[in-house]
Structure 1
Amino acid sequence: MAEGFSTAAANAVLDTQGSTYPWIKLHVGAPGAAGTANAATETTRKQVTWASASAASKSSNADLVWTSVAGSEDFTHYSQWTASSGGTFGGSGVITANAVATADTFTIPSGSFTLTLPVAS
């Protein structure tokens, strides 16, 4: 038996996830079950805008830019939230990034921030 979502169901879940939890917070390690572990020194959350999900994948459609980051560190993870501060945690994942130094600009280019779900095959 095939395991995973149908493509249509995966697209619906991803569109809901993206619209419900559009605020992205950076982390320097796994965020944990509550999304609060290993927070980056840079605490500003950025709101991601998304293209509609297609083929069980959803990608950002604008750059995410943090200017003049607060500390020197390696961003390795992200968490998703319902608000720019406070709010409800909705999920997390891994990012690949170069190390940043205090006052650097960190950018995740449009189309490079992607959510995916497994589909039945």
Structure 2
Amino acid sequence: MSVGFSTTAANTALDTLGSTYSWIKLHVGDPGANGTASAATETTRKQATWASASAASKATSADLVWTGVAGSEDFTHFSLWTASTAGTFGGSGTITANAVTSGDTFTIPAGQLTLTLPVAA
């Protein structure tokens, strides 16, 4: 028996998630069940713009850029939020570990941050 979403349902769900939880926060480890663990020293959230979901996947359509990051650390995870501060946590994921030095610019290029859902085979 296959489990997962239909592609159409996954695309609809991802489009809703992307529009609801559009603010991206950086972390230096697993954000945990509430999205608050292992927060990066850089606390600025960036608002993602997303391409429409296709094939149960959704990717950013513009670069996410943090200029003059606040600390020297390795960004390894991200969390999704409903607002630039406070707001509601929607989920989290991993990014390729990237060491930064305080004052650096950190960029996640367009298309490199993706959300996916399992599709029934």
TM-score > 0.5 by shorter chain: yes
Distance in 1 between residues matched to 2:30 and 2:54, nearest whole Å:
27
| Residue 98 (structure 1) shift | 1.9
The letter of the residue matching 2:39 is A
- How many correspondences in the alignment? 121
Structure with more strand by fraction: 2
Q: Is structure 2 residue 14 aligned with structure 1 residue 14?
A: yes
Alpha-carbon deviations, 1:65-94, whole Å to 9, x = none? 000000000000000000000000000011
Q: How does 1:1-121 map to 2 (within 5 A)?
A: 1-121=1-121
Alpha-carbon deviations, 1:12-41, whole Å to 9, x = none? 110010000000000000001110000000
Distance in 2 between residues matched to 1:42 and 1:9, nearest whole Å:
35
Structure 2 unaligned residues grouped into runs of 5+: none
TM-score, with structure 2 as normaliser: 0.98
Distance in 1 between residues matched to 2:98 and 2:13, nearest whole Å:
30
Supply the RMSD in Å over aligned alpha carbons. Answer: 0.5
Distance in 2 between residues matched to 1:37 and 1:72, nearest whole Å:
18
Distance in 1 between residues matched to 2:46 and 2:12, nearest whole Å:
23
Distance in 2 between residues matched to 1:25 and 1:99, nearest whole Å:
16
Alpha-carbon deviations, 1:40-81, whole Å to 9, x = none? 000000000000000000000000000000000000000000
